[in-house]
């Protein structure tokens, strides 16, 4: 789909007919927005603008030169936009091309709130958008505002996670997965903000933008730097939460190991005594110890003696552990 924003009769007009290119000039057009364009639409724009649009592979490159570059006839900027999907994000690249005549061409494969908001600003205050350069800066401003919302959202999720960990008695795999998911989202968000910073730095160094744009750029760069610091803080906080969660897991495991260790030590004397009496020596007088009851039943005192000795040794072991405050 293609949307053409025209300057006519002191207002902005939207049109989606590529056939208008035959009757229009560069001075009539501010912005050409292409959403999932067909090959025919892309060729029509390229023929009208007399330059080639970026391929998806070129847009997705991570080199700094691919984020912002200037040629003799165009300014090309590629930027990543976030699409929220539940608790995570999907990164979608967007390509911007500015001609020397001040016409902005944007190519994207997904719908973004940023573009809808920028269009509203354009319709409400069209006098402030005399060229495609101003629309491009407005898109970046809206996007930075949206990035701030995402940073705040991640910060709230981190705070909620921290409270959940403090209130839970045991840490399970779900908590670790939540921490890893938030770390991945925060890392992507930081990379996205760094991407915005590189684009703004390129614009600031350029001499082809209107002079009234540069004061706005200074404010945008301050906002981006603030967002980077905030995202770094959230990432560091997640590292602390992860260390705390792993520490609690280690404590739980140590408590379990402690229980098994104490149990094995308590029953160690009894095991030793049972092993001694299980050696089948010829001379074991305890086997002949008996006590005859009035009814003629004989109690095996040796057997009772062995059991009592086991219980006494285990009891002494428990007492020693309690005395040392190991239990």
Q: Summarize the confidence of residues 172-189 as an average pLDDT.
A: 78
pLDDT value at position 88?
66
**The pLDDT of residue 281 is above 70:** no
User: How confident is the model over 87-138, as pLDDT tens digits?
Assistant: 667 778 888 888 888 888 888 888 888 888 888 888 887 777 778 888 888 8
Q: Summarize the confidence of residues 273-278 as an average pLDDT.
A: 74
Q: Summarize the confidence of residues 174-179 as an average pLDDT.
A: 77
Q: Which of the given ranges, 79-83, 176-180, 209-213, has the highest pLDDT on average? A: 209-213
**The pLDDT of residue 42 is above 80:** yes
Query: How far apart are the C-alpha atoms of 126 and 233, rounded to whole Å?
Result: 38
Lowest mean pLDDT among 156-160, 195-199, 261-265, 273-277: 273-277
pLDDT value at position 60?
66
Q: Summarize the confidence of residues 31-53 as an average pLDDT.
A: 84
**The pLDDT of residue 170 is above 70:** no
């003696």: which residue's tokens?
305
Query: How far apart are the C-alpha atoms of 58 and 78, rounded to whole Å?
Result: 9
**The pLDDT of residue 31 is above 60:** yes
Burial (Cβ within 10 Å: 0-12, 13-18, ≥19) of residue 75: buried
∠ CA 151-154-158 to the nearest 5 degrees? 135
Q: Work out the pLDDT band at 151, boundaries 50, 70, 90.
A: confident
Q: Summarize the confidence of residues 254-260 as an average pLDDT.
A: 78
Q: Work out the pLDDT band at 62, boundaries 50, 70, 90.
A: low
């062995």: which residue's tokens?
306
**The pLDDT of residue 38 is above 80:** yes
pLDDT value at position 169?
63
Extract the tokens encoding 44: 């029509």
Going by C-alpha positions, the residue among 66, 70, 48 that lies closest to residue 57 is: 66
Q: Summarize the confidence of residues 220-231 as an average pLDDT.
A: 88
Cα-based distances in Å from 289 to 242, 296, 299, 301, 303: 63, 15, 8, 5, 8
Q: Summarize the confidence of residues 12-20 as an average pLDDT.
A: 75
pLDDT value at position 41?
85
């Amino acid at each position: 789909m293609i949307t053409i924003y025209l300057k006519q009769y002191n207002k902005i007009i939207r049109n989606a007919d590529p056939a208008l290119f035959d009757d229009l000039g560069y001075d009539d057009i501010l912005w050409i927005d292409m959403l999932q364009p067909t090959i025919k639409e892309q060729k029509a724009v390229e023929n009208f603008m007399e330059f080639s649009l970026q391929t998806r592979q070129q847009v997705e490159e991570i080199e700094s030169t691919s984020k912002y570059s200037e040629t003799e006839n165009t300014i090309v900027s590629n930027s990543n936009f976030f699409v929220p999907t539940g608790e995570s994000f999907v990164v979608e690249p967007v390509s911007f091309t500015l001609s020397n005549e001040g016409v902005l061409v944007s190519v994207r494969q997904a719908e973004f709130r940023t573009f809808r908001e920028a269009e509203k600003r354009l319709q409400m205050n069209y006098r402030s958008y005399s060229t495609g350069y101003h629309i491009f800066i407005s898109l970046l401003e809206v996007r930075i505002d949206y990035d701030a919302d995402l940073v705040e959202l991640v910060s709230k999720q981190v705070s909620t996670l921290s409270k959940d960990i403090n209130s839970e008695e045991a840490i399970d795999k779900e908590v670790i997965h939540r921490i890893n998911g938030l770390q991945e989202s925060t890392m992507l968000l930081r990379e996205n903000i760094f991407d915005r910073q590189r684009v703004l730095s390129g614009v600031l160094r350029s001499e082809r933008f209107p002079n009234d744009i540069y004061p706005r750029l200074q404010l945008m760069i301050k906002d981006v730097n603030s967002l980077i610091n905030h995202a770094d803080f959230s990432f560091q906080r997640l590292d602390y939460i992860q260390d705390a969660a792993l520490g609690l897991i280690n404590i739980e495991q140590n408590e379990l190991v402690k229980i098994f260790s104490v149990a094995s030590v308590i029953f160690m004397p009894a095991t030793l005594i049972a092993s001694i009496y299980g050696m089948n020596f010829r001379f074991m007088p305890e086997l002949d110890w008996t006590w005859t009851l009035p009814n003629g039943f004989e109690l095996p005192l040796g057997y009772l003696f062995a059991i009592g000795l086991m219980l006494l040794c285990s009891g002494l072991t428990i007492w020693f552990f309690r005395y040392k405050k190991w239990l």
